[in-house]
Amino acid sequence: MADYREAPLASRPKTLDPNEYFNLSKEYRRAEEDRAAIRASLKMQYQTQLNNPHRKALIEDPALTRWVHARANPYLYFKPTFKTSLVGLLFGVVPLFGLYYIFKTDRDRKEAQIKAGTLDRKFSLSS
C-alpha cells in the first residue's frame, strides 16, 4: 500500500483504510462486486441508448426522473432536523420579532418626545 499521510482535519478515505479494505468477508465482497456489475451494465445500457444515431425517442433516466420529482414536490421529502429548524427560526421568526421591536420602540420614543414637547418636527410632505 502506498504511503498515505492523513490530513489534519480530514479522516482517512474508506478505500485507503486497511481495516475496511483487507478485513472484509467473502459475502460482503461478493455483494460489492454484484452491485458494481449491476451499475456497469446499467451504465453500458444508458451509453448505448445515448450514442445510438438512429434513436427517435427520449432516453428515460430513472435517477433524473426521481430527482425532478423530488425537486417538484419538496414537502413530501423534507425531513425536519435540528439544523433546518434552527435555520427556519433564524431566518423566519427572529427577523419578524426584531423588526417589530425596532419599530415599536422607535414609535414609543417619538410619542414620548411629542408628549414632552421635545421633538423637533420639520415640515415635510413625504413623511
Asked if 19 and 63 sit in the same domain, the reply is yes
* pLDDT reported for residue 127: 58
What is the mean predicted confidence (pLDDT) over 109-116?
Answer: 92
Asked if 90 and 102 sit in the same domain, the reply is yes
Asked if 48 and 27 sit in the same domain, the reply is yes
What is the mean predicted confidence (pLDDT) over 73-79?
Answer: 90
How many angstroms separate the CA atoms of 87 and 81, rounded?
10
Cα 48 to chain center, whole Å?
33
| Domain assignment of residue 92, given as a range | 79-120
* 56-75 pLDDT tens trace: 988 888 888 999 999 999 98
Count structural domains, the chain. Answer: 2
CA distances for 126 relative to 60, 109, 123, angstroms: 60, 21, 9
Question: Mean pLDDT over all residues of the chain?
Answer: 87
Cell of 29: 465482497
Asked if 55 and 103 sit in the same domain, the reply is no
Q: Is residue 126 situated within a structural domain?
A: no
* 2-30 pLDDT tens trace: 676 777 887 777 777 777 767 778 898 89
* pLDDT reported for residue 124: 73
* 111 vs 20, residue with greater confidence: 111
